[in-house]
Structure 1
Amino acid sequence: MKSIIHQVPYHSQWESADLVPDILDGTVLAADDPLWARSGAASPEEYEYWSWRLCGMACLRMALEFWWGVSPAPVALAEECLAAGAYVRHPDGRLDGLIHVPFAAYVHERWGLAAEARSPLPAEELPALLEAGRLAMLSVHPSIRTLDPQPPHTGGHLVLAVGAGPEELLIHNPSGFPDGSQSFARVPWGDLGRFYAGRGIVLGPYPA
């Protein structure tokens, strides 16, 4: 397998990427992120609510900036996805999603990208997809940021596959740490299965 790396810009799901460790361990509230207004949220409280749920929007922003040169505000994207049925918000505040099939339809209709919800999406297919010029949003456990030896389950968080080589997959992780697990984070193929739920969304421009 030859190595392929797409030079995709990185976005965290929090506006201050350097604060991710402190937000995750609770020493800083997301609402206190000094850059919260960049998210498109109307208030720090709205940002607090959405920021924990924006991994898919961060992945979409990366793809849109890579191919189209645009980086829409993540909360604005989330509200569009809510209207498209890719999220379902309950009266008690619970949020279902990101729901892959309606999200893929939204990406196609709104942004003109080919988007295919794949379940299963075998890890073995990822190198060929990347070599063909695609990117893939993958459902993984969030502890992939530290390569936790015993994650409690697979899935629950979205990362963007941006490269691959004989030994590893390269991902942009919206909730990664700034010590090396945010952009072009290396996940050895032998470790990926502990975190990866075997499903995702394949993105790419349509052929000219």
Structure 2
Amino acid sequence: MTACPTCRVPSLTQFASPDLVGKIVYEGHDRADDPAWRESGAATLDDYARWCGHLCGLTCLRMALGEGAPSLFELRDGALKYGAYTEDPADGTIKGLIYAPFAEYVRDTLGREATVHRHLTLDEVADLVDSGHTVITSVHYEIRRPGRPAPGRGGHLVLVTARTADGSLHFHNPSGIDAPTRTAELPRAEFEPFFAGRGVSMR
């Protein structure tokens, strides 16, 4: 893992091959056609392909843990045991990340503080990172293209790690399509239209 020069937190993607993220999310590239899938820690290619699109939150956790963090699928297995994800027995639909059991998992097994914020402002996010926390925030995935109108709020998770000198939020996006969108900075006014007003802080 290489630490970000701004915040010292590594930048990671939820898909094993960072150069395929854009093709996967915008061009329908088959997730199973990822030559680096074994690096995720998945036991099988099918398991990787089925789950990788759901693991933005655990990629945020892995970034926050830094060097020596468990593999992405080790974290998935642990989070499943705590109920941070559920699978519909009828059709296999995956739901999650579910914040409360996720925070319990982080506290119990990883020894980190983890607090669920069901109502969160961006000023509070900035205060949390100033006090040494990282904050998993719920945003719309199109935050990776902030020059376009936000299509909605929530549904994707990014890790806010710092506040810049001008007050912008510095964050790492697990589904960023290139280096500038994986490690990004946005003024709060530009971040806000994508933000769902909830998250999990960790330290």
Q: Is TM-score (shorter-chain normalized) higher than 0.5?
A: yes
Kindly state the Cα deviation for residue 27 of structure 1 after the two structures are TM-superposed: 5.0
Kindly state the Cα deviation for residue 148 of structure 1 after the two structures are TM-superposed: 5.1
**Aligned equivalent of 1:169:** 169
1:112-123 matches, within 5 Å, as 112-123=111-122
Q: Indicate conservation of the 8 Å contact 1:18/1:178, yes or no.
A: yes
Kindly state the Cα deviation for residue 178 of structure 1 after the two structures are TM-superposed: 1.2
| Separation in 2, partners of 1:37, 1:89 | 23
1:46-65 matches, within 5 Å, as 46-65=47-66
| Separation in 1, partners of 2:27, 2:189 | 31
Q: Give 3-state SS (helix, strand or coil) of 1:138's partner.
A: strand
**Aligned equivalent of 2:199:** 200
| Separation in 1, partners of 2:102, 2:147 | 29
CA deviation profile, 1:122-143 (whole Å, cap 9, x unmatched): 1111222111111000000000
| Separation in 2, partners of 1:46, 1:61 | 19
The code of the aligned residue for 2:77 comes to E
Q: Indicate conservation of the 8 Å contact 2:142/2:151, yes or no.
A: no
Kindly state the Cα deviation for residue 187 of structure 1 after the two structures are TM-superposed: 1.5
Superposed CA RMSD? 1.3
| Separation in 1, partners of 2:111, 2:96 | 22
Counterparts in 2 of 1:178 and 1:34: CA distance versus 1, 3 Å: same
Q: Give 3-state SS (helix, strand or coil) of 1:113's partner.
A: coil
| Separation in 1, partners of 2:45, 2:27 | 16
Kindly state the Cα deviation for residue 151 of structure 1 after the two structures are TM-superposed: 2.5
Q: Indicate conservation of the 8 Å contact 1:82/1:89, yes or no.
A: no
**Which among 71, 92, 109 is matched to residue 69 of structure 2?**
71
**Aligned equivalent of 2:180:** 180
**Aligned equivalent of 1:8:** 9
| Identical amino acids, percent of aligned pairs | 39
**Aligned equivalent of 1:109:** 108
Counterparts in 2 of 1:96 and 1:148: CA distance versus 1, 3 Å: farther
Q: Indicate conservation of the 8 Å contact 2:146/2:190, yes or no.
A: yes
| Separation in 2, partners of 1:152, 1:27 | 19
Q: Following TM superposition, where does structure 1 have runs of at least 4 consecutive aligned residues deviating by more than 6 angstroms?
A: none
Q: Give 3-state SS (helix, strand or coil) of 2:160's partner.
A: strand
Report the more deviating stretch, 132-141 or 38-47.
Answer: 38-47
| Separation in 1, partners of 2:193, 2:48 | 31
Q: Give 3-state SS (helix, strand or coil) of 1:186's partner.
A: strand
Contiguous gaps of at least 5 residues in structure 2: 1-5
Kindly state the Cα deviation for residue 108 of structure 1 after the two structures are TM-superposed: 0.2
**Aligned equivalent of 1:152:** 151
| Separation in 1, partners of 2:30, 2:148 | 28
Q: Give 3-state SS (helix, strand or coil) of 2:157's partner.
A: strand
CA deviation profile, 1:82-106 (whole Å, cap 9, x unmatched): 1101111112121111011110011
**Aligned equivalent of 1:43:** 44
How many residues in Structure 1 have an aligned counterpart in Structure 2? 196
